[in-house]
Amino acid sequence: MTVSNSLLEKEEIDAVTVVDVHAPAQTYYTTGNNSGSNINRLRTLSGRHELTKNSIKDEIPPQRKRRASHDDKNKARRFLLDVKETQRILVEQEDTDGDFQITVNDLGPKSLLVGSADSGGYRKIEIRGTYMLSNLLQELALAEDYGRKHIVLDEARLSENPVDRLSRMIRHNFWDGLTRRVDAEGLERICLDPKNRSVNHSPRIYIPHDEHEVFNYYQNVANTKQHLGLKVERLPQKITPEYVQSINDKPGILALALKKVKDVNTGEDTFRGVPFVVPGGRFNEMYGWDSYFEALGLLIDNRVDLAQGMVENFTYEIKHYGKILNANRSYYLSRSQPPFLTDMARQVYLGLPGCNNDNKAWLRTVLQAAMKEYHTVWMSEPRLDPKTQLSRFRPDGKGIPPETEASHFDHVIQPYATRAGLSLSELMEQYNNRTHIEPELDEYFLHDRAVRESGHDTTYRYEGRCANLATIDLNALLYKYETDIADMITDYLDNDLIDYDGVKQEASTWRNRAQMRRDRIDKYLWNEEHGMYFDYDTVKEQQTTYESVTTFWAMWAKCASQEQAEKMVRHALPKFEVMGGLVSGTAESRGIISLDRPNRQWDFPFGWAPHQILAWHGFKNYGMIDIQQRLVYRWLFIITKSFVDFNGVVPEKYDVVSLTHKVQVEYGNVGVDFKYVPREGFGWMNASYQIGLSIITKQMRRALGTCTSPEIFFERTAAIKKQQQQVVETAKAITQNGQTTTAITIIVPPESSVNMNSGLKRKAPSLSPDTSQQNLASFAIEKDDDDHNMDADLTTPEDDSDYYI
């Protein structure tokens, strides 16, 4: 008997190792159908027929079937693609604006015919729509990363629910794309600094004064890897603002924590850098407050080791540089950023595996560093205001901040240059070397450095006064430091914690500090009339009037009373809640925008991940779950919609009023410039997405997967709740408000079916004389979680195979 050619082919294809269609790229493009030998077999389907015919002697060859017969209509569709050629055709046809992305702004036909895998590429199948075509472009780039010239691509990978796809890319791609180490292997990548505008671009690393073994290690790296041209510098024992300014023309990376390991080649002891995550784009170093939010996202994705490493790097910075730095570059040595270390350590500690005693020892080490920073940085002058005893962003520093764009301060400095009869460059040089004194410029740059330390660079909220302000942001964070340390002493450390000087720490002492700070916050920052917190100008001795969304940080830190939280919901929340989430400030506070007074990125209409995340947890702290989930949905919608419409983009920030990432503002938007496929997203934006998905209900997640706008979603859910309430009212009437003691029958109107568009009905409970009104109401008004349990066997985003946007 002759063996059917198509049967031989089918057996060989089916024998291929089955790989999850949504597996990470490193698995999907190196195993299964996309391992080298298997893809070659699929490509030679046509040649196989002749080989089979000639190898069976004296047998009549089977009648050749038409090529489309290889496609099983009941199977999920797969495509057989030439990677480079498909990419070329796709870009030529669809990328009409030449940015190497396929977006809703491109004017191509949004349709491409490709060959099916089961027909060996003979039968053509249409791929259409911006979302699927941009996913195809991304998948081709990922396949090329792994050396694939031809691939078998599952259609389900292109039509994947966008919520699942983005979350998967963050978990498996973006975090790794943002991970760095400061060691022999990582230096070449980490030393690159797009912000370096000095004439000296040689890679340079600065080592703490007393780290002799570390200095020798990096000197050896410089000697053995001479192509790097690495310069190794030792910092002085005391780092002064004057010293920091003196090395501005020789900027470099600052060493972070190292761990001793065995060299796999020599077996000798060597060092390996403790890894960390960078924000992305031009921010290629470990930043202060970014790292806290990134760590929260890493913990959601079970990357505990990476989050723990970031805490250890902060501990190293405090020990050797005196503070958690703005970032680990030499020009940031005088500046810090908003402090989150205690909560960051607590979150990591709760996720640590292994020996409890070892984990406690680790936590003690981190808290010792946090207490040092608390006392020497935030509770010492110049940051501590001696009168109010509240803290301010007020870093030391000299001269013009060197990390900005070359022309960033031209409009500020030009009038002084004109008045002095000097060119712009001459005045800048003389001002930096102190041969030309300008007290007004000193004041300007004092506040400019404070703005950068605040993390909110820049905003009209801080214009010309930041260093004088006791902000709700900073003082809420320090209140959290105080309560965190007190709680961890009693809850985790068995009342056993000493500081660097060996002084035993008492929880009651830290709670007293927290209470005193809370009293001062209420006295100076709370505004009863407006129902929210404002900054306090310690020089003018009055509250400012700028309305900032950071008022909700008090709820995150739990330093607001329940009454204050409820007032903020009534008075403040309506000011900041917009279509895409929470906006940074109000339009009234920002003021009129013009050519001479342009937008600032931390003002209206922009929204940022840290503001959203802290507010989410703040509302949860006060039992306001409905508000929390509503805000989360708004924020995740704008991220998901941009991801779908703009080739997978995940940027630094959004215009949350106009629902766009295309912003006209200083610094532009980081994370939007990439070729074919996004590889990093943006650090805290990635985190906000993963955190948000852990908060919303399954119903909300399904709506996000279809890009249902917040207003439509909320309108529909409100209508359903209203119908459910009508059912309750009907039931109350029938049972005389629960007083009837005889069995009754509930008649549920068809439009009030509790299954919400599923076509399924749930049997009402039989009522007995013991059935109360409360039990009846609990059936009629089901909370989201119960509804989702009902729908457990329905299609969910995790199960969906086809999502067409």
The catalytic residues are 457, 652
Q: What is the C-alpha to C-alpha distance for residues 475 and 525, in angstroms, rounded to an integer?
A: 10
SS3 for 126?
strand
- Beta-carbon contacts of residue 779 (< 8 Å; ≥ 6 apart): 764, 765
Closest of 521, 455, 512, 519 to residue 485, by C-alpha: 512
Long-range contacts of residues 421-429, Cβ cutoff 8 Å, at least 24 apart: 428/400
- Residue 39 exposure: Cα atoms within 13 Å on the Cβ side: 22
Three state DSSP letters for 328-357: CEHHHCCCCCCCCHHHHHHHHHHHCCCCHH
Q: What is the C-alpha to C-alpha distance for residues 237 and 210, in angstroms, rounded to an integer?
A: 8
Closest of 667, 581, 575 to residue 628, by C-alpha: 581
| Apex 279 CA angle, 277 and 280, nearest 5 | 105
Which amino acid would we find at residue 583? V
Q: Do residues 738 and 732 touch, judged by C-beta distance below 8 A?
A: yes
Q: What is the C-alpha to C-alpha distance for residues 665 and 672, in angstroms, rounded to an integer?
A: 14
SS3 for 753?
coil
Beta-bridge partner residues of 103: 646
The residue behind tokens 């081709």 is: 140
Q: What is the dihedral of CA 278, 282, 288, 290, to 10 degrees?
A: -60
First to last CA, the chain: 49
Strands 536-537 and 577-578: unpaired
Closest of 691, 601, 613 to residue 654, by C-alpha: 601
Beta-bridge partner residues of 78: 154
Assess whether the previous peptide bond of 574 is cis (omega < 30° from 0).
no
Q: Do residues 388 and 536 touch, judged by C-beta distance below 8 A?
A: yes
Closest of 237, 233, 225, 240 to residue 200, by C-alpha: 233
Beta-bridge partner residues of 504: 498
Q: What is the C-alpha to C-alpha distance for residues 617 and 598, in angstroms, rounded to an integer?
A: 32
